[in-house]
Amino acid sequence: MVFNDKTVKAYEQWLKSPIGYYIDVRRKKLVLDLLAPMEGERLLDVGCKTGNYMLFFRREGCDVTGLDSSPSMLSMARNKLGHRADFHVGNPEDLPFSDDEFDIVTLITCLDFADNSQKALEEAIRVSRKSVFVGFLNKYSFGAELSTIKEIFDVSPHSFSIWEMKQKIKAMLPSVSLRWGSVIFLPSGWYSFARNVEECIPSMNNPFGSFVGLTFSVVYTQRTLMDPVESSLNVGVTGGQHIPGTAKEMKQ
């Protein structure tokens, strides 16, 4: 989904508002608690929008790349990060990168706007060599983020439950171990006086926050993606080394 300059400005204004700033801080704390990115890791932010999380991960020491379908969003992201990041126009369902190109791939409120969320997840898994983080809007929350996002972006985003998202991931990686949590439990109007209440509510394994974060390892996914190709070519990958790009190229 491609957003115009008007949407970009509305999103940036919301991020700078008191409630937007607070929600953003809560989300980023959850991301750090679940993902714990390390300095020097290569990170791809799919659906990076205006670069808010790219800048966050860059400050954590990551080597960041952002992809978005909206040139207007990427223009704002470039203004924030300049030469400190790489930028690509593209769709989450068809990432222009090789297999295992990044240590971490993040999709933060990306699947909520994707045309095909399952395909976007498959692509994220393909290009990651270590882990994937998914942040999405919760259809079963008590908060009001869904209505706020709808107002900002002037569309009705998809929303998921934690159980639906787990099902999508386990359809591709049946034995994967998932870590997850959620934040933003209260209606937006409460945060001027009830922030202490929000911060007392446990976030890990809590299915009721408006924003759900979920992370999982993809260390073993090359066995799933590459084995059919290797078998047909009668080749193997030794010593844990991978063949970048092979799986995608053979499917084309």
Return phi, psi of residue 225, to 5°: -80, -30
Helices (H) and strands (E) in the chain, counts: 10, 7
Mean pLDDT of the chain: 86
For the chain, give every residue range classified as CATH 3.40.50.150.
5-219
In DSSP terms, 86 is beta-bridged to 65
Expressed in angstroms, the distance from the first to the final Cα of the chain is 24
- CB count, 10 Å around CB of 153? 18
The yes-or-no verdict on residue 244 having pLDDT over 50 is no
**Half-sphere exposure of residue 18: CA atoms within 13 angstroms, side-chain side:** 7
Task: Kindly report, residue by residue over 177-233, the tens digit of the pLDDT.
Answer: 999 999 999 887 788 888 899 999 999 999 999 999 999 999 754 444 444 444 444
User: What's the whole-model pTM score?
Assistant: 0.84
Model confidence at 2, pLDDT cuts 50, 70, 90, reads: confident
Output the pLDDT for position 187.
Answer: 84
Question: Where is average pLDDT lowest: 15-19, 21-25, 147-151, 220-224?
Answer: 220-224
Rounded CA separation 132/204 (Å): 17
Task: Kindly report, residue by residue over 39-48, the tens digit of the pLDDT.
Answer: 999 999 999 9
Task: Return the closest-CA partner of residue 112 out of 141, 86, 87.
Answer: 141
Output the pLDDT for position 219.
Answer: 77
CATH of domain 5-219: 3.40.50.150
Output the pLDDT for position 76.
Answer: 96
At 208, is the secondary structure helix, strand, or coil? coil
